[in-house]
Amino acid sequence: MRRFEDRVAVVTGGAHGIGRASALRLAEEGARVAVLDVNEAGAHETAELIGDAAVAIACDVADAASVAEAFDRVRDRFGTVDVLHSNAGVLLPGSAEDGAPEEWDRTFAVNVRGMYLAARAVLPTMLAQGRGAIVNTASTSGIAAEPGLAAYCASKAAVIQLTRQLAVDYSRRGVRVNCVCPGWIDTGFNDPVLEGVGDEELAEAIDRMVPLGRQGAPEEIAAVVAFLASDDASLVTGHALVADGGLTAL
């Protein structure tokens, strides 16, 4: 499929995991891709995997000036933006009792403020051309609470609601906004909550919790992102699409 031929996509948090997989998937389908990440070296690795159709840009999504500069560089390089996969995020474990206020603030700065700033930076371009698709990365943790993840669960619930709100404001003007809610995905992103958990113990827990009996792969989430960003999803906006192997069905 070449659903993104002659289109430009921006992926935040594109240095690894779901972000890298999405950048690669969008490029495979014809997009020119800007890979944004605070991990500049990782962003360059992703861009190198894509080739000449990609550019890597250092960006801290929690910082308004950094986001504005990054999107200016994207427009200077590619002229426009048709797709935004707003994926950058952090996972800092802690309950309301033992989590540090600074970690709460950092979680919301990246996971929520970062998505607001990215949308704010890209909307003028999309609205001017009368079309665009934004896909935010939320989580099943924004739907069903998990123990010891107060800030993360709250932030991902906020992402889902921000997605809906943006869809309400901008869908009639040609910009669709959706989010994907991954469950357990086999990436290093989950390492902060897996400290001390062995492979066998994790496999048993996944088998018990997930009807499909396994973790997802980043490429499986990338396929969902590509669908939501494509014209195949032309009637889909304001939606939180769950891709969790049945986790939240239990």
The CATH number that applies at residue 186 is 3.40.50.720
Local structure of residue 15 (DSSP, 8 states): T
Does the residue 202 lie in any domain? Answer: yes
231 has a pLDDT exceeding 90: yes
Q: What percent of the chain has pLDDT over 70?
A: 100
Does the residue 250 lie in any domain? Answer: no
Mean pLDDT across 156-185: 98
Does the residue 2 lie in any domain? Answer: no
pLDDT given at position 1: 84
pLDDT given at position 210: 98
Indicate the number of domains in the chain.
1
45 has a pLDDT exceeding 90: yes
Does the residue 107 lie in any domain? Answer: yes
Give this prediction's pTM.
0.97
* Distances in whole angstroms, Cα of residue 157 to Cα of each of 65, 89, 123, 136, 150: 26, 13, 22, 12, 11
Does the residue 249 lie in any domain? Answer: no
Mean pLDDT across 136-151: 97
Angle between helices 218-229 and 17-28 (to 10 degrees): 50
> What domain range is 119 assigned to?
8-241
Mean pLDDT across 141-155: 97
pLDDT given at position 13: 98
pLDDT given at position 196: 87
Mean pLDDT across 107-124: 98
* DSSP string for 46-95: HHHHH-TTEEEEE--TT-HHHHHHHHHHHHHHHS---EEEE-------B-
* DSSP string for 137-180: E--GGGTS--TTBHHHHHHHHHHHHHHHHHHHHHGGGTEEEEEE
**In whole angstroms, how large is the CA radius of gyration of the chain?**
17
pLDDT given at position 238: 98
Candidates 129, 231, 121, 124; CA nearest to 176 is 231
Name the active-site residue from 104, 152, 170, 189: 152
152 has a pLDDT exceeding 90: yes
Q: Are 245 and 211 in contact (CB under 8 A)?
A: yes
Average pLDDT, the chain: 97
Please, which residues have CB within 8 angstroms of residue 161's CB and are 6 or more apart in sequence? none
Please indicate whether residue 170 is annotated as part of the active site: no
